[in-house]
Structure 1
Amino acid sequence: MEASTIQLSTRQLELLELVKKHAPVTGEQLAEYLGVSRPTLRSDLSLLVMLGLLDAKPKVGYFLGNAYRSVNEPIERLGALKVREVQGVPVNVPDSLSVHDAVITLFTENADTLLVVNERKRFAGIVTPKDLLKITLGNPSSAAVPVSMVMTRYPNVVTLTPEDSVMDAIRKMSHHQVDCLPVIVPCGEQAEPEVAGWVSKSNIIRLIADIATVGKLEEPEL
């Protein structure tokens, strides 16, 4: 089993990045950095050690293994990527759109999340399938309700900027357990931000899979 043929998960890549920065580092410290329990990381750490990407010494901790050098370059390339280089074109809807039409848009655009903009075309919030499901269940009159009534409003939305790193996007998705992050451009303290794009979990996974399996970065299909 070679590291170049394994599709490393988001958390495994995060572990490699943390060990690179903090080695030697214990499993307890890694769990604290990621906000999870030590047993949660046991299988990930075992796999990385087995692949030779990590080494471990009792009472010392984890450090980079000999095999890390062979995959170091593609991982470094992932860490150097900016959000603006991988962001996709989001599905924007006006805040006046009805819940009924929002549901149709989700299906026709095959989207996980809808970005909501106001009358000035500025970012106002997001709507997810869960938001729409909550209001439609047992509420026959909900179809006419505007999405502005059910959306999560900015600034209560986790966002990215074009200059954030892809690793920042991965960390935010993992920490907040979200499938999509809007990419916004701030326009001053008082003005609403502009929508620049979005980064979805499926695109990140595809990007990581390309790097982990073929050791080179290909143009992502966004």
Structure 2
Amino acid sequence: MELVKKHAPITGEQLAEYLGVSRPTLRSDLSLLVMLGHLDAKPKVGYFLGNAYRASDEAMQRLSSLKVREVQGVPVNVPDSLSVHDAVITLFTENADTLLVVNENKGFAGIVTPKDLLKITLGNAGATSIPVSMVMTRYPNIVTLMQDDSVLDAIRKMSLHQVDCLPVIIPSDEQSPYPEIAGWVSKSNIIRLLADIAAAPDLGEQDL
């Protein structure tokens, strides 16, 4: 595909020569790519990129250009004094997978997940009154994003660290060691974004 993109229109013989294979070896592959719409072919002219490839290429370019600030959502923030009992209730009422914890100055202090809450409550009847500050993962031991990071960086971090959401922060200043929470990027954000990008070429074609 990269050869066709660079040299189009290009003949089957030229492609075979670039790849160091015979023309018959490529015939079935070229036919399949034409059938799928990734390539188009004109007799006595050669092969060039098809509509399906151009659409997917445009989608990838759009994804590559997006910044975190364009897709971040509004997080569920809770104070570090909130009890584990109330944190569990908040998870259910907000339908959230993660809670972002803020201190009394509204600085980002940590995160709490269902797994954190489960660990402290199993076999511990009095655990529900413990504040979330005792069970949270503390900043800076948390993978975070900045608003100008790319969405692709966010996807890579989620995959590498196997997390469902990443806090988006504004760096701290000299007055406070804790950053400000700007938002978060969750797997749900990413799934909706990819669905919108995938649907965009179809919507464009309907407008023509």
TM-score by length of 1: 0.66
* SS of residue in 2 equivalent to 1:206: helix
* Structure 2 residues without counterparts, runs of 5 or longer: 1-32, 39-48, 204-208
CA distance in 1, matches of 2:64, 2:139: 28
| Contact 2:55 2:201 survives alignment (8 Å) | no
Q: Which residue of 1 aligns with 2:102?
A: 117
The one of 191, 200, 211 equivalent to 2:186 is: 200
Q: Which residue of 1 aligns with 2:133?
A: 148
* SS of residue in 2 equivalent to 1:211: helix
* SS of residue in 2 equivalent to 1:110: coil
Q: Which residue of 2 aligns with 1:181?
A: 166
| Contact 1:96 1:147 survives alignment (8 Å) | yes
1:98 aligned onto 2:62 = no
Which residues of 2 match residues 59-138 of structure 1 at below 5 A?
A: 67-138=52-123
CA distance in 2, matches of 1:216, 1:165: 25
Distance 1:127 1:216, change over 3 A: farther
* Structure 1 residues without counterparts, runs of 5 or longer: 1-48, 54-64, 218-222
| Contact 1:126 1:153 survives alignment (8 Å) | yes
Q: C-alpha displacement at 1:91, in angstroms? A: 0.5
Q: Which residue of 2 aligns with 1:41?
A: none
For 2:194, give the aligned amino acid: I
* SS of residue in 2 equivalent to 1:195: strand
Q: C-alpha displacement at 1:70, in angstroms? A: 2.9
For 2:77, give the aligned amino acid: N
Q: Which residue of 2 aligns with 1:162?
A: 147
| Contact 1:74 1:216 survives alignment (8 Å) | no
1:76-110 per-residue CA deviation (whole Å, 9 max, x = no partner) reads 11111111111111110000100000000001111
Which residues of 2 match residues 23-34 of structure 1 at below 5 A?
A: none
For 2:113, give the aligned amino acid: T
Could you list the structure 1 runs, at least 4 aligned residues long, displaced by more than 4 angstroms after superposition: 49-53
Q: C-alpha displacement at 1:51, in angstroms? A: 6.3
The alignment-based identity, stated in percent, is: 76
| Contact 2:64 2:151 survives alignment (8 Å) | yes
RMSD (Å) for aligned C-alpha atoms: 2.3
TM-score by length of 2: 0.70
Q: Which residue of 1 aligns with 2:11?
A: none
Larger mean CA deviation between 119-128 and 181-190 belongs to 181-190
CA distance in 2, matches of 1:95, 1:205: 30
Ranked by relative contact order (alpha carbons within 8 Å, sequence separation 6 or more), the top structure is 1
Matched residue count = 159
Higher Cα radius of gyration: 2
* SS of residue in 2 equivalent to 1:120: coil
Q: C-alpha displacement at 1:215, in angstroms? A: 2.9
For 2:178, give the aligned amino acid: E
